[in-house]
Structure 1
Amino acid sequence: MQWITHVLQQYPELAIFLTIALGFAIGPLKIKTFSLGTVTAVLLVGVLVGQLKIDISPTVKSVFFLMFLFAVGYSVGPQFFRGLKKTGLPQMGFAVLMLITCLIFPWLCARVMGYNMGQAAGMLAGSQTISAVIGVAGDTINGLPLSAQQKQDFINAIPVCYAVTYIFGTAGSAWLLASVAPAMLGGLEKVRKACKELEASMGAGDESDQPGMIAADRVVSFRAYKVTSDWFDKGQTVKALEERLAAHDLRLFVEKVRQQNKVVEVAPDVVIHKGDSIVISGRRSNLVGEYGLVGPEIQDGELLHFPAEALQVLVAKKEIAGLTADELRAKQFMHGIFIRSIKAADIEVPVMPNTVIERGDMIELVGLKKEVDQAAQQIGYADRPTEKTDMTFVGLGIVIGGLIGVLTIRIGGVPISLSASGGALIIGLVFGWLRSQHPTFGRIPAPALWVMNNVGLNMFIAVVGISAGPGFVDGFKQVGISLFLVGAVATALPLLSGVLMGKYLFKFHPAMILGCTAGARTTTAALGAIQDAVDSKTPALGYTVTYAVGNTLLIIWGVVIVLLMQ
């Protein structure tokens, strides 16, 4: 044990990776439906490892924290600026008002309890489940005219209070929004009925089998058939066949035609005769039952040997933004192509005919490779798997953001700045939006963005935990178990206020109220619990814009609460 301690003290980088490994192993473990989550597990493991008194340069955590905040801004930038449009302003206004309560209630609780600025920042971070506040608040404290010992004491208190209040901040938020909030909106059954009515108003059918759209769990198939139906006695065009299939509620497309052992290029006016072989694409459930309209299914490996593709496409074209999924499907270039999924800010929204598609959204298209490629050019930018990240874009973004963030103004002799971390977040928003407008540069592939988000944050948290470890127990004794109860109040009041504002002030639909409230608090776990409770994906429609605003303001509140607590 002494040898291990000596090695970890001599090579602190090993202590960081040990903390990361154990935290990622423990975090997902569940007791019934509760789990610590990766970030809290990494923090607590770091505190344990920190008992070995391991010194780590603060530069290490700063590097990873800047990377994380830039990635956060980059991810939500398109949705943040979308909220500035007329259609998004009500949701943005709701988010700003609710987020003010997310600052005011923790601040009032801290004042009543006599907490210092470090304890207040930690309670804000944990009760509102926004881990980035730990870093932003620490940077702000470091910039204040305090003694080195005062700064260290305040900064060490932040992770202690975060750990105590985070548990209810996560589990309590999911319970409040999935159980208490529906009761405030007239009862769970009433909310479920309202969600189903919203789905119906958006054109959802019993099986979501609208033209050119499929549920994410449905499979698109390509199958070969021998044309034997008497309907083809005098020949029928491809267009006529597809219209006949559509008249029987079969959303199917002719992809290949073989006539006299020769495969011909498919076009609407190509005539199909009895005895021809054709390939039809569509949902598997539709393909199974249409034998009488065409003929029997055949095994024809040669005819079926052609490239099909499922492709993620970033919506970037101005003329596509604002269209519904049904309007997009009606475009000529979408013939034979299915929309499998739509994501905004990496949150999947329901694929329904009236779902609105905006710039910066990621949609998944399924169909013949040639047709999908052509459609991608009309919609925006094909996001094909790649290992390359535009590091010039990332590096310059963080530098520019940092330079802006460290600019300081003095109000009443108090230095105020966003700090380098706050600047990285703001520039991340701008650069993420620019990428959605001009997708030929600034690409960060999804796996790389995951590393920047998750590894960046957890490396930072690991160093915070290890550094705070020696004083963690004393800090916990100082705040006491009462902090858990105070944190629960600071968690509940903003959420319940959000539900009431959505119902009485903004008069949102119940699904939107639940989604907007969860989004403003950036609690994805609560969104999942809400969707399970109401048996509908529609709350996600209110999540994305408010999530982008919440990710921005909640982090900035880390600066504000420190200044308020002076």
Structure 2
Amino acid sequence: MGVVRDHPELALFLCLSLGYLVGKIRVGPITLGGICGTLIVALLIGTRHVSVNDDVKTVFFALFIFSLGYLAGPQFFANLNRKSLRFFALCLVELVCVLGIAFGLAKAFDLDVGTASGILAGAATESAVVGTATEAIAKLDGLSPSQISQYQGHVATAYTVCYLFGLITIVLFTSQIMPMLLRINLADASRELWEKMRGGVRGLEEDEREALPRTVGRTFLVTLADGRRIGELEASRGGAVTVEGVKRGSRVLDPAPELELILSDLVQVVGRRAAIITAGREIGPETPAVPGLDTPLATRQVAVTEKATAGSTIAQLEQTHPEFRKDGVYITDVLRNDQHLPASAETTVQRGDVLTLVGARAGLDRLVAKIGAVVKNDTTDYIYLGLGIVAGSLLGQIVVRIGDIPLSLGTGGGCLVTGLLFGWFRSRRQTFGAFPPQAANTLKDLGLAIFIACTGLTAGPQAWPLLKEYGALLPFAGIAMVLIPASISLIIGVKLLRIEKPLLIGAIAGQQCSTPAITSITQVAQSSVPLLGYTITYALSNFLLPLTGPVLVGVLGA
């Protein structure tokens, strides 16, 4: 243990590796997860008085919270509309309940500010509250350094116990008990809702691709289209097909609109699959690929930046820009806030959407220049990332006093706000500020894991005395702070908001920011439909819940 004590970097990564190993232990549908496992291991190692410099904790928490905000930003602002207002009400229920219960427990049992904050963070299963509350405690007036360290240690210990019981409660309540209370079979209800929303079309899983893609290329031998011009042939299909090449004997001809086809020409046609099949009946029999005639198609991911495009359907967009039909460019996918939408004629395009365009390179380049900009998301823009964290740190230094109560976002809250804004702004114009989702998720997970390990190591010596003092209270708080807001949300969601039941169950898991809960729910539902409700409340609560830490600390600290 002396080696670990002398080398903090060894202690940190030992906590991570052993913690994530502990987090893989499964009991029924429940796993602790890597973060809770890391905290348990860190508390145990911390009892041997192993510690890490506090600056390490601050830096990694800033990386975590900014990445969290950056990923949630586009969806958070997209959900600030009338349609999502009913889901926003569920998040308000969560906020009011957890703050009220934590404050009530603190007053009833004379809890210190650290223990109360840890109960709030753990029972709400929101790890970010640990960071925002810990920072807020360090800024309280009238506390000695030893008191600050003690209260911050209490945050980690109370969080660990309450998180464990809160996690078990939210998983079982949402996936097992709620469907019984609502008197539904979750799998059947999810399937029926999906068929209603999609007209009976099943969605694709992450590892699936369409067996019959919408945009295809085919080669035909001219037997029926003798004497027809290419422009006439394309017009007869309403611009849904484009002739990309013609081979006559050994010569490859330019497929100009006025070119007249003759018997035995080989014609390469690209377009919508249904239109290609119909066009083939007018041209002649399909042939295998012909050497020299296989014109390659390019693909571009284009962010829509043209203001006039916002609110247009794909059909209207293709009419506004005749280059689609003239140059044979097709929209094959619409990506909005990490959600793939069908590229059908009636799909509405919004500013910031990413369209996947497929077509001949020359025509594709001309069209891209008119409707948007090519998405650049291959490497992280560290200028944008650094400026965002700097701005968040500065914002967090601002202290606002309401009477005797000092309120401050702290580094965590400030970086969360700037992360949301920077992520949203990037989604509007995706020509700069790249932060690939894989990189953002890695920094988010690593940042939180290192922060939690540092917190656990510091709190280790104070864990056992706190458990002896409040041992029975912490499990009770963890269960109550899940059941009360979840039950109220269930009643409001059914009676007042009339949210579809599979979406409501997912939304309640989202208001609690519980990834294990939604994982269990989707397994029971055998469908991803509950995710549609989960993503809305998850994005809102991920921003709002971390702010409850400084609020509770400020009120109790006063």
Matches within 5 A, 1:154-303: 154-188=151-185, 191-192=189-190, 194-200=192-198, 204-206=199-201, 217-218=209-210, 220=213, 225-228=218-221, 231-235=224-228, 237=230, 240=233, 253-254=241-242, 256-260=244-248, 261-263=250-252, 275-279=264-268, 295-300=285-290, 302-303=292-293
What is the distance in 1 between the residues matched to 2:524 and 2:132?
A: 35
| Aligned partner of residue 55 in structure 1, secondary structure | coil
- Do the aligned partners of residues 266 and 68 (structure 1) sit closer, same or farther apart at CA in structure 2, a change above 3 Å counting? farther
TM-superposed CA distance for 1:141, in Å, is 1.0
Q: Assess if the C-alpha contact under 8 Å between 1:110 and 1:120 holds in 2.
A: yes
Residues 355-364 or 72-81, more deviating: 355-364
Residue 48 of structure 1 corresponds to which residue in structure 2? 44
Identity in percent: 29
What is the distance in 1 between the residues matched to 2:423 and 2:435?
A: 10
TM-superposed CA distance for 1:84, in Å, is 3.4
Residue 539 of structure 2 corresponds to which residue in structure 1? 548
Residue 510 of structure 1 corresponds to which residue in structure 2? 501
Task: Pick one of 50, 67, 72 that aligns with 2:68.
Answer: 72
What is the distance in 1 between the residues matched to 2:74 and 2:13?
A: 33
1:25-67 deviation per Cα after TM superposition (whole angstroms, max 9, x unaligned) = 5434545543221211222232233233223111110011112
What is the distance in 2 between the residues matched to 1:46 and 1:271?
A: 77
- Do the aligned partners of residues 395 and 357 (structure 1) sit closer, same or farther apart at CA in structure 2, a change above 3 Å counting? same
Residues 133-142 or 272-281, more deviating: 272-281
Matches within 5 A, 1:71-470: 71-109=67-105, 111-112=107-108, 114-145=110-141, 146-188=143-185, 191-192=189-190, 194-200=192-198, 204-206=199-201, 217-218=209-210, 220=213, 225-228=218-221, 231-235=224-228, 237=230, 240=233, 253-254=241-242, 256-260=244-248, 261-263=250-252, 275-279=264-268, 295-300=285-290, 302-304=292-294, 306-309=296-299, 312-323=301-312, 337-340=330-333, 342-344=335-337, 346=338, 348=339, 351=342, 358-362=350-354, 380-387=372-379, 389-470=380-461
AA matched with 2:201: D
Q: Assess if the C-alpha contact under 8 Å between 1:215 and 1:351 holds in 2.
A: no
Q: Assess if the C-alpha contact under 8 Å between 2:226 and 2:263 holds in 1.
A: yes
Task: Pick one of 54, 58, 63 that aligns with 1:58.
Answer: 54
- Do the aligned partners of residues 274 and 434 (structure 1) sit closer, same or farther apart at CA in structure 2, a change above 3 Å counting? same
Q: Assess if the C-alpha contact under 8 Å between 1:79 and 1:545 holds in 2.
A: yes
TM-superposed CA distance for 1:534, in Å, is 3.8
Q: Assess if the C-alpha contact under 8 Å between 1:83 and 1:91 holds in 2.
A: no
| Aligned partner of residue 43 in structure 2, secondary structure | helix
TM-superposed CA distance for 1:324, in Å, is 5.8
| Cα root mean square deviation, aligned | 4.0
User: Structure 2-normalised TM-score?
Assistant: 0.82
What is the distance in 2 between the residues matched to 1:523 and 1:239?
A: 58
What is the distance in 1 between the residues matched to 2:314 and 2:541?
A: 27
User: Structure 1-normalised TM-score?
Assistant: 0.81
| Aligned partner of residue 307 in structure 2, secondary structure | coil
What is the distance in 2 between the residues matched to 1:369 and 1:31?
A: 54
What is the distance in 1 between the residues matched to 2:15 and 2:208?
A: 36
TM-superposed CA distance for 1:135, in Å, is 0.8
1:60-80 deviation per Cα after TM superposition (whole angstroms, max 9, x unaligned) = 100111122222222222233
- Do the aligned partners of residues 548 and 366 (structure 1) sit closer, same or farther apart at CA in structure 2, a change above 3 Å counting? farther
Residue 474 of structure 2 corresponds to which residue in structure 1? 483
Q: Assess if the C-alpha contact under 8 Å between 1:238 and 1:254 holds in 2.
A: no
- Do the aligned partners of residues 186 and 415 (structure 1) sit closer, same or farther apart at CA in structure 2, a change above 3 Å counting? same
- Do the aligned partners of residues 463 and 504 (structure 1) sit closer, same or farther apart at CA in structure 2, a change above 3 Å counting? same
Residue 563 of structure 1 corresponds to which residue in structure 2? 554
TM-superposed CA distance for 1:282, in Å, is 7.5
Residue 249 of structure 1 corresponds to which residue in structure 2? none
Q: Assess if the C-alpha contact under 8 Å between 1:109 and 1:490 holds in 2.
A: no
Residues 430-439 or 23-32, more deviating: 23-32
Q: Assess if the C-alpha contact under 8 Å between 1:138 and 1:155 holds in 2.
A: yes
TM-superposed CA distance for 1:556, in Å, is 0.2
AA matched with 1:16: L
- Do the aligned partners of residues 285 and 407 (structure 1) sit closer, same or farther apart at CA in structure 2, a change above 3 Å counting? same
1:414-452 deviation per Cα after TM superposition (whole angstroms, max 9, x unaligned) = 322222221121122222222233333322233332233
Q: Assess if the C-alpha contact under 8 Å between 1:325 and 1:351 holds in 2.
A: no
- Do the aligned partners of residues 380 and 298 (structure 1) sit closer, same or farther apart at CA in structure 2, a change above 3 Å counting? same
1:314-351 deviation per Cα after TM superposition (whole angstroms, max 9, x unaligned) = 4544344445677668875666535446352x4x4664
- Do the aligned partners of residues 222 and 85 (structure 1) sit closer, same or farther apart at CA in structure 2, a change above 3 Å counting? closer
| Aligned partner of residue 3 in structure 2, secondary structure | helix
Q: Assess if the C-alpha contact under 8 Å between 1:82 and 1:545 holds in 2.
A: no
TM-superposed CA distance for 1:404, in Å, is 2.4
| Aligned partner of residue 513 in structure 2, secondary structure | coil
What is the distance in 2 between the residues matched to 1:11 and 1:471?
A: 22
What is the distance in 1 between the residues matched to 2:22 and 2:257?
A: 57
Residue 488 of structure 2 corresponds to which residue in structure 1? 497
What is the distance in 2 between the residues matched to 1:269 and 1:496?
A: 70
Residue 471 of structure 1 corresponds to which residue in structure 2? 462
What is the distance in 2 between the residues matched to 1:186 and 1:352?
A: 36
- Do the aligned partners of residues 215 and 458 (structure 1) sit closer, same or farther apart at CA in structure 2, a change above 3 Å counting? closer
Q: Assess if the C-alpha contact under 8 Å between 1:256 and 1:279 holds in 2.
A: yes
- Do the aligned partners of residues 336 and 57 (structure 1) sit closer, same or farther apart at CA in structure 2, a change above 3 Å counting? same
Q: Assess if the C-alpha contact under 8 Å between 1:402 and 1:420 holds in 2.
A: yes
TM-superposed CA distance for 1:536, in Å, is 4.2
Q: Assess if the C-alpha contact under 8 Å between 1:125 and 1:162 holds in 2.
A: yes
- Do the aligned partners of residues 397 and 104 (structure 1) sit closer, same or farther apart at CA in structure 2, a change above 3 Å counting? same
1:452-511 deviation per Cα after TM superposition (whole angstroms, max 9, x unaligned) = 311211111121122222333333333325522431221122223223222222233334
| Number of corresponding residues | 546
What is the distance in 2 between the residues matched to 1:283 and 1:523?
A: 41
What is the distance in 1 between the residues matched to 2:489 and 2:88?
A: 13
- Do the aligned partners of residues 149 and 529 (structure 1) sit closer, same or farther apart at CA in structure 2, a change above 3 Å counting? same
| Aligned partner of residue 415 in structure 1, secondary structure | strand
* Residue 16 (structure 2) pairs with residue 20 (structure 1): yes
1:217-247 deviation per Cα after TM superposition (whole angstroms, max 9, x unaligned) = 325498764424754345475785797699x
1:74-107 deviation per Cα after TM superposition (whole angstroms, max 9, x unaligned) = 2222233333344444443443344333433444
AA matched with 2:145: A
What is the distance in 1 between the residues matched to 2:33 and 2:11?
A: 20
Q: Assess if the C-alpha contact under 8 Å between 2:216 and 2:273 holds in 1.
A: no
Give unmatched runs, 5+ long, in structure 1: 247-251
